[in-house]
């Protein structure tokens, strides 16, 4: 995580106070401005994966405001006083601690009763630069292997709710479903009058995620290789879920620069593991990925970490983009 983007606590506290005072003076005007949102549950989502859950589960009973607008890299988000003030006016806040330090600190200052940290709704794990199942290893052996092999590259990264924890839980449909259930319960508690609808919508979404998980499991069961290379290690949970080996160029932090030794390691691994493709993403630079692919004679393709939906996304929502990711992985891994 780029610590240079952290907002000093004193400055943030002042911004929170100003924002909350400004909005408190005209409470309810945000509903009028949005047109037709009066009477709905005001939900603030930190970035797209939380927005999607709020919209799918909340349906017509919620008005969702997302702090991270389309095209903005979530890790780089810097909050404006107005956004911080909106946090204090929210009925429910949905966020994922560890992805956006500026958001984490603003939420801590906002003091909203119904604040939901998605990281507490499932189990987080530590994923190194290389994650996923190494053939013949037990889970314990793999964890030891990953920790030893990449301890140096992970040093200094605090990108999860706990030191070393990987926050990219939404890229595993099973873990995302666990989060969805927790979000559903939170909305039921915040708005008991519509609890039945939230429960129904949660069940519908969990069913969709279950079907998605089945498609991934079946689609990636028989492949020519289990190894794929990505711009940064966002796909640790996905790789672990489906028995794959993710090799990240830049580790979990998308802004870190790979060492020459890491590039050489990836080149060697690509040849040994019969890797065909280097994946890049829509919201981060693809320069290093394309250079590595060119130097190693590999193809390039998009594997979307779904941190935001833009016109460049291969789908209009989470399910569609995840299915595009599955198709890309099947092609790259030589699925049979």
Q: Are residues 25 and 75 in the same domain?
A: yes
Neighbours of 156 (CB within 10 A): 10
Q: Are residues 137 and 44 in the same domain?
A: no
Q: What is the pLDDT of residue 256?
A: 64
Residue where a domain stops, chosen among 74, 92, 121: 121
pLDDT tens track for 267-277: 999 999 999 99
Q: Are residues 115 and 135 in the same domain?
A: no
- The DSSP bridge partners found for residue 92 are 43, 114
Q: Is residue 207 part of a domain?
A: no
Decide if 44 contacts 23 (C-beta within 8 A).
no
Q: Are residues 113 and 151 in the same domain?
A: no
CATH code (residue 99): 3.40.50.1980
Q: Are residues 50 and 145 in the same domain?
A: no
Q: Is residue 239 part of a domain?
A: yes
Q: Is residue 155 part of a domain?
A: yes
Q: Half-sphere exposure (CA, 13 Å, Cβ side) for 119?
A: 20
Q: Is residue 275 part of a domain?
A: yes
Q: Are residues 117 and 135 in the same domain?
A: no
Decide if 237 contacts 216 (C-beta within 8 A).
no
Residue where a domain stops, chosen among 99, 121, 143: 121
In this predicted structure, the answer to whether residue 33 has a pLDDT above a threshold of 50 is no
Identify the band that residue 255 occupies on the pLDDT scale cut at 50, 70 and 90. Answer: low
In this predicted structure, the answer to whether residue 32 has a pLDDT above a threshold of 80 is no
Q: Is residue 233 part of a domain?
A: yes
In this predicted structure, the answer to whether residue 64 has a pLDDT above a threshold of 50 is yes
Q: Are residues 146 and 49 in the same domain?
A: no
Q: Is residue 237 part of a domain?
A: yes
Dihedral angle at the C-alpha atoms of 128, 174, 176, 39, nearest 10 degrees? Answer: -170
Q: Are residues 66 and 35 in the same domain?
A: yes
Q: Is residue 180 part of a domain?
A: no
Query: 162 or 270: whose pLDDT is higher?
Result: 270
Q: Are residues 138 and 106 in the same domain?
A: no
162: Cβ contacts below 8 Å, ≥ 6 apart: 98, 124
Mean pLDDT lowest for which of 50-54, 144-148, 231-235? 144-148
Decide if 44 contacts 100 (C-beta within 8 A).
no
Q: Are residues 142 and 261 in the same domain?
A: yes
Q: Are residues 99 and 142 in the same domain?
A: no
3-state secondary structure of 278: strand
Q: Is residue 245 part of a domain?
A: yes
261-272 mean pLDDT: 89
The count of domains in the chain is: 2
Q: Are residues 97 and 16 in the same domain?
A: yes
3-state secondary structure of 109: helix
212: Cβ contacts below 8 Å, ≥ 6 apart: 173, 319, 322, 323
How confident is the prediction for the chain on average, in pLDDT?
81
State which of 13-27, 177-191, 281-295 shows the largest mean pLDDT: 177-191
29-44 mean pLDDT: 65
Residue where a domain stops, chosen among 121, 146, 180: 121
Residues spanned by the domain of 315: 130-159+220-333
CA–CA separation, 123 and 117 (whole Å): 12
């Amino acid at each position: 995580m780029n610590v240079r983007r952290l907002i000093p606590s004193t400055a943030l506290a002042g911004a929170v106070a100003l924002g909350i005072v400004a909005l408190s003076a005209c409470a309810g005007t945000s509903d009028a401005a949005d047109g037709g949102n009066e009477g709905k549950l005001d939900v603030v989502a930190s970035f797209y994966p939380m927005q999607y859950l709020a919209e799918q589960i909340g349906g017509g009973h919620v008005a969702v405001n997302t702090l991270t607008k389309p095209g903005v890299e979530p890790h780089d988000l810097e909050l404006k006083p107005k956004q911080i003030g909106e946090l204090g006016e929210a009925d429910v806040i949905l966020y994922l601690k560890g992805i956006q330090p500026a958001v984490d600190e603003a939420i801590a200052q906002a003091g909203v009763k119904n604040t939901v940290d998605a990281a507490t709704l499932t189990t987080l794990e530590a994923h190194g630069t290389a994650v996923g199942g190494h053939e013949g290893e037990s889970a314990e052996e793999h964890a030891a292997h990953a920790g030893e092999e990449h301890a140096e590259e992970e040093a200094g990264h605090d990108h999860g709710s706990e030191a070393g924890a990987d926050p990219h839980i939404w890229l595993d449909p099973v873990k995302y479903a666990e989060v969805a259930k927790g979000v559903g319960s939170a909305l039921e508690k915040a708005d008991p009058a519509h609890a039945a609808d939230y429960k129904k919508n949660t069940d519908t979404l969990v069913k969709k995620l279950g079907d998605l998980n089945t498609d991934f499991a079946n689609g990636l069961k028989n492949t020519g290789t289990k190894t794929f290379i990505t711009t940064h290690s966002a796909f640790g949970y996905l790789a672990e879920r489906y028995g794959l080996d993710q090799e990240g160029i830049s580790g979990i932090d998308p802004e870190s620069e790979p060492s020459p030794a890491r590039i050489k390691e990836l080149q060697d691994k690509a040849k040994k593991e019969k890797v065909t493709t280097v994946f890049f993403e829509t919201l981060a630079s693809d320069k290093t990925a394309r250079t590595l692919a060119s130097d190693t004679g590999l193809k390039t393709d998009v594997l979307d970490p779904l941190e935001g939906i833009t016109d460049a996304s291969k789908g209009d929502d989470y399910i569609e983009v995840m299915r595009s990711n599955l198709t890309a992985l099947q092609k790259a891994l030589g699925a049979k």
